[in-house]
Amino acid sequence: MLKIFFISALVFTTNTPEQGWLQNTQTYESKPVCEAAIKHDYENITAAIKSYLGKTFEHLSELRCMTHQEAVERNTALGH
């Protein structure tokens, strides 16, 4: 079975719950390719997240590559 990975960001906001995982819409065919994209484009990714969240943004805790299901499970555990 093919696994598709997304750049995923754990962000803290002024919303409730205050933390959650956001996922980019760009897909990657493997985790190493996704991780290379984070290394190559870290500054642009973080700027895009800040712009997207606007005034609700507080800080970015981490960026990692995960599947959609992994993000759903982590957000469920955070109360989403």
pLDDT (tens digit per residue) in 43-76? 999 999 999 999 999 999 999 999 999 999 999 9
> Which tens digits make up the pLDDT trace of 35-46?
999 999 999 999
Domain ranges for the chain, please list them: 5-77
Angle at 34 between CA 51 and CA 47, to 5 degrees: 15
The owner of tokens 């980019």 is 24
Task: Describe the strand order of the beta sheet including 19-28 as a list of residue ranges.
Answer: 19-28, 5-13, 57-66
Q: How far apart are CA 66 and CA 31, in angstroms?
A: 7
